[in-house]
Amino acid sequence: MNKIMFFAHLRDRVGEESVTRDVSGKTIAELKQLLEEEFGLMLDSVMAAVNEEFASDEEVIQNGDTVAFIPPVSGG
């Protein structure tokens, strides 16, 4: 299983801080498409992190990975 985390406006939209899904074997791009369909999200300009490290759209998710969607940041 995989923990999928949302932040900022994505969290507001989804209504949850995280959801649990089995998405192992899928790429980040494939997961983005699933989430866009399920929650009506726009993830084009959103980065992903796998286990707290930035990941490319081509990265394949492994069982147990935590995936986080990181909208453009605005700290500082």
User: Which residue ranges make up the site for other proteins (CB under 8 A)?
Assistant: 5, 7-9, 11-12, 44-45, 47-49, 52-57, 68, 70-76
Please state the closest distance from residue 25 (CB atom) to other proteins, in A: 19
Residue 21 to residues 7, 48, 76, Cα–Cα distance (Å): 17, 16, 33
Pick 11 or 21: Cβ nearer other proteins = 11
Please state the closest distance from residue 44 (CB atom) to other proteins, in A: 7
**Pseudo-torsion of CA 56, 76, 13, 16, nearest 10°?**
90
Pick 8 or 41: Cβ nearer other proteins = 8
Please state the closest distance from residue 48 (CB atom) to other proteins, in A: 8
Q: Burial, 47: exposed, middle or buried (Cβ in 10 Å; 0-12, 13-18, 19+)?
A: middle
